[in-house]
């Protein structure tokens, strides 16, 4: 009230609530369409505005790290693809590379390129779900139903490679369990031809759409230094303007032979996160194309595992009529392979950020401690800071654009 000195009661702005007793608590609880999984936000609301929010997670806590201490090394792979189940092969490959780093196994170039093709496909699949669900949360359902068709096609490629759609358990420590079939290569090439058209269509549907831009531009903005302080990694950090990407910072699995750009946003709001994921899908397509060209140049087409046979099952006909092969097969399956004592931290650029595996082994059959660095668990702490002061519908959009996956959140 710049004009008058003292303000009578009736002169106050009619809209602002006077004594703030109209706060009511709203429970965006475990079973709520806005939370794409099971976590709970108890929000203190002043009308539509969020004054305070307090999170409860752990509704599907399955004690992954406790299970990992009771399983031999190659049996932990099925655990990892239930971490971020939207892009399961990414976690599997991450785990394989951690054990290879501990054992000092050098994988040949062909295995690295095969892994890169699979990892980039998984990244596209994860960004597909996240971006189409941002559309669903802001009301545009058509994008979801159209894009899921391509995700089904990626499922088909996974089935060609490893037989299962979602929880893939793909590859082995040191390579793959079998070579890619010709059918898989055709499907990958068909995907590279047909998917860009659909992605362009989806981008045209939402990216420059008036309603979508009003709903997402500077909604839940986050500054770069706060993001770093809160341990952000992945597309959410890049949307804030920090170009940190594990594939470039410490390249693994011969990522250094590929050239791709890291998309970076400015203000870290929902629109930047959407566009960063959208651009990353285009970059993943480029990487897969380069990987296919490099794979065609490699002459021998049938090496699909590393020379170090500690984790590679001998071929079946040898196992049936050769004593040593049978013993070796039995040793691998029962997990008696000799693992050196030591500890290793290896991280990969998963779809949500830097997915790290801190593996401590005391030479025994099972790891003595395995800690998963789960990106969702770490950056979801910043959710109150992004949301307080905004409106509830913006808070829903911020949550879905951060792509918090319940499986990875409370492993």
Partner 1 sequence: MINVYSAESGVKRSCQITIIVYQSNPERDQLVVNKLNSQFVDAIAKDEVMSDMLCLNVQKEFIHDVLLYLYQDKELQYNFLTTLCGMHYPDKNQLGVVYHLHSFVNNHRIRIKTATDIDRPVIATATTIWPAANWMERETYDFFGITFKGHPNMKRILNMDEMIDFPMRKEFPLEDQTRDDKDDSMFGR
Partner 2 sequence: MELSTCVMSEKQISTIEIAEMPEGYSGKGFFATSMEKAVGLARKNSLWPLPFATSCCGIEFMATMASHYDLGRFGSERLSFSPRQSDLLMVMGTVAKKMGPVLREVYIQMAEPKWVIAVGACAASGGVFDTYSVLQGIDRVIPVDVYVPGCPPRPEQIIDGILKIQELVGNESLRRRNSKEYEDLMKKYNME
Partner 3 sequence: MPQDYIPVLIQSLVVLGFVISTMLLTHFLGPKRFSREKLENFECGIEGMGNARSPFSVKYFLIAILYVLFDVEVIFMYPWAVNFKTLGKEGFIDMFLFIILVLAGFIYILLKGALKWDKK
Which parts of this chain interact with partner 3 (CB under 8 A)?
Answer: 13-17, 21-22, 24-25, 27-32, 40, 46-49, 389, 391
Instruction: Considering only residues 308 through 327, tell me which ones interact with partner 1, judged by CB under 8 A.
Output: 308-310, 312, 314-315, 318, 322, 324-325, 327
Q: At closest approach, how far in Å is the CB of 26 from partner 1?
A: 21
Given partner 2, partner 3, partner 1, none, residue 345, with its beta carbon under 5 to 8 Å by kind, binds partner 1
Q: Does residue 365 touch partner 1 according to CB under 8 A?
A: no
Determine the distance from the C-alpha atom of residue 92 to the mean position of all C-alpha atoms in its chain, rounded to a whole number. Answer: 12
State how far the Cα of 39 lies from the Cα of 155, in Å rounded to an integer: 27
Q: At closest approach, how far in Å is the CB of 41 from partner 3?
A: 10
Q: What sections of 36-181 are H helices per DSSP?
A: 64-68, 77-80, 88-103, 109-137, 141-162
State how far the Cα of 89 lies from the Cα of 171, in Å rounded to an integer: 8
Q: At closest approach, how far in Å is the CB of 298 from partner 1?
A: 19
Taking a C-beta distance cutoff of 8 angstroms, is the pair 134, 201 a contact? Answer: no
- Cβ neighbors of 352 (< 8 A, separation 6 or more) are 84, 126, 234, 235, 236, 375, 376, 403, 405, 408
Q: Is 47 helix (H, G, I), strand (E, B) or coil?
A: coil
Count of residues that bind partner 1 according to CB under 8 A: 54
Phi, psi of 49 (to 5 degrees): -95, 145
Q: Which of 174, 154, 158 is nearest to 98 (CA)?
A: 174
Tokens of 38: 């099971």
Q: Which is nearer to partner 3, 214 or 343 (CB)?
A: 214
Q: Which residues bind partner 2 (CB under 8 A)?
A: 29-33, 37-38, 58-63, 66-67, 78-79, 82, 85-86, 129, 144-146, 148-149, 151-152, 155, 165-167, 186, 190, 406-407
Q: At closest approach, how far in Å is the CB of 382 from partner 3?
A: 22
Please report, as ranges, the residues that interact with partner 1 according to CB under 8 A. Answer: 57-58, 61, 63, 65-67, 69-70, 101, 103-104, 228-231, 242, 244, 249-250, 308-310, 312, 314-315, 318, 322, 324-325, 327-328, 338, 340-347, 354, 356, 358, 360, 369, 371, 373, 377-378, 380-382, 410
């Amino acid at each position: 009230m710049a004009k008058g000195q003292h303000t009578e009661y009736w002169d106050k702005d009619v809209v602002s609530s006077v004594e703030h007793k109209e706060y009511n608590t709203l429970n965006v609880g475990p079973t709520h369409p806005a939370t794409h999984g099971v976590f709970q936000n108890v929000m203190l609301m002043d009308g539509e505005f969020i004054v305070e929010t307090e999170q409860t997670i752990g509704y599907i806590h399955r004690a992954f790290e406790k299970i990992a201490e009771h399983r031999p090394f190659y049996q932990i792979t099925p655990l990892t693809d239930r971490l971020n189940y939207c892009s399961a092969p990414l976690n599997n490959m991450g785990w394989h590379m951690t054990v290879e780093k501990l054992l000092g196994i050098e994988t040949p170039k062909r295995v690295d390129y095969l892994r890169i093709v699979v990892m980039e496909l998984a990244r596209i699949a994860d960004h597909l779900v996240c971006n189409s669900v941002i559309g669903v949360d802001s009301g545009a359902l058509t994008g979801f139903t159209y894009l899921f068709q391509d995700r089904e096609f990626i499922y088909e490629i996974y089935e060609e490679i490893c037989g299962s759609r979602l929880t893939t358990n793909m590859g082995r420590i040191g390579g793959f369990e079998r070579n890619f079939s010709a059918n898989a290569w055709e499907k990958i090439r068909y995907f590279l031809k047909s998917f860009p058209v659909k992605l362009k269509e989806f981008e045209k549907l939402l990216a420059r759409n008036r309603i979508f831009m009003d709903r997402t531009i500077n909604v839940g903005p986050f500054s770069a230094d706060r993001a770093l302080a809160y341990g952000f990694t992945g597309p959410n950090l890049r949307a804030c303007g920090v170009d940190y990407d594990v594939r470039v910072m410490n390249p693994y699995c011969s990522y250094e032979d590929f050239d791709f750009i890291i998309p970076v946003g400015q203000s870290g709001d929902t629109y930047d996160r959407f566009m960063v994921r959208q651009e990353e899908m285009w970059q993943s397509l480029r990487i897969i194309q380069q990987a296919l060209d490099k794979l065609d140049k490699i002459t021998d087409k049938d090496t699909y595992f590393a020379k170090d046979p500690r984790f590679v099952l001998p071929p079946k006909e040898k196992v049936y009529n050769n004593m040593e092969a049978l013993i070796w097969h039995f040793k691998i399956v029962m997990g008696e392979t000799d693992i050196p004592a030591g500890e290793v931290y290896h991280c990969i650029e998963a779809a949500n950020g830097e997915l790290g595996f801190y593996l401590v082994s005391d030479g025994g059959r099972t790891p003595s401690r395995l800690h998963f660095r789960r990106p969702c668990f770490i950056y979801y702490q910043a959710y109150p800071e992004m949301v307080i002061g905004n409106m509830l519908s913006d808070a829903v959009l911020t949550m879905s654009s951060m792509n918090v996956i319940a499986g990875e959140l409370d492993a």
